[in-house]
Amino acid sequence: MAGDTSYRYPGEHLVLAITVVAVLLVIALTATATMCTSVVFVGMAVMISFHASRSAHRQLVERAQRISSESNPEIVSIIQTCKNRIQPGDVEVFVAPTRQLNAYTFGLSDPKAVVLYSGLFHVMDKDELSFILGHELGHVRLGHTWLNSLIGGMAGIPSPSSASALLMLTFLWWNRMCEYSADRAGLLACQKPEKAISALIKLVAGEKGLTHEGMALAYSQIDAEDDTVMGSINEAFGSHPMLIRRIQQIRRFAASDQYERLV
């Protein structure tokens, strides 16, 4: 599947197009956002994001550990397998010393950086780490790292409050589509649907996820997310879908002919 990005979630490009169209409509229909000032604003937002990314990278190198064959040979093997499957380009992987369970990627220029929180290594097994890493590499491969800066800058164009709210909601909607796409990349990296799902559950369970009872309790909490109106409202104003929706999408993709073809 090297170089193949057909696993991208079907709605991602559509929602991206809707976001761009919404920005253009705001520019066309409001007096507070002229074409000239909008172009300048977006350009400034991208430049600020670029310099902030460079600064963050320098700080990261100073306080985090870059994974290498000398310091983490087993992790390097996982990284190489994931890179071979996702083909993200020039990416460096770092470990940040914190007990939290999280990972993220950033960078507008190469090399992009993927940061794994050290807490992940205490609760995730090799296949679950492959899903987490593959998810972040998917963001890189699919262009989310630089598109986020560009589209975020566009969504932040000065405009009336109602228009600003609309732009931000469509931007967050696109962010959630990106998460579904990255989850598919993570699944293709680990190639074990049950491990992709258990990795997501452990993000909630933490160290309690090392026991069957802890995983069951965490899943029951996740499964209840979409049972209330407030859960849907919180999702609409968030950059990530509900975990139960992500789990459902992973199961659907794993059962598809497209997944079988790609693996």
pLDDT value at 182 more than 90: yes
Least confident of 43-47, 80-84, 129-133, 172-176: 43-47
Which residues are bridge partners to 63 per DSSP?
Answer: none
Mean confidence (pLDDT) of the chain: 87
Distance, CA of 255 to CA of 244 (rounded, Å): 17
* Structure confidence at residue 160 (pLDDT): 65
Q: Which two tokens stand for residue 209?
A: 């996820």
pLDDT digits (tens, 9 = 90+) for 16-61: 999 888 877 776 776 554 556 656 666 666 666 566 666 766 676 6
| Distance from chain centroid for Cα 253 | 17
Determine the longest span between alpha carbons in the chain, in angstroms. Answer: 58
* Structure confidence at residue 43 (pLDDT): 65
| Distance from chain centroid for Cα 123 | 20
Is residue 142 within 8 A of residue 186, CB to CB? The reply is: no
Give the strands of the sheet with 103-106, arranged side by side. Answer: 65-66, 91-96, 112-117, 103-106
* Mean local confidence (pLDDT), 97-101: 90
Distance, CA of 12 to CA of 179 (rounded, Å): 9
pLDDT band at residue 193, thresholds of 50, 70 and 90?
very high
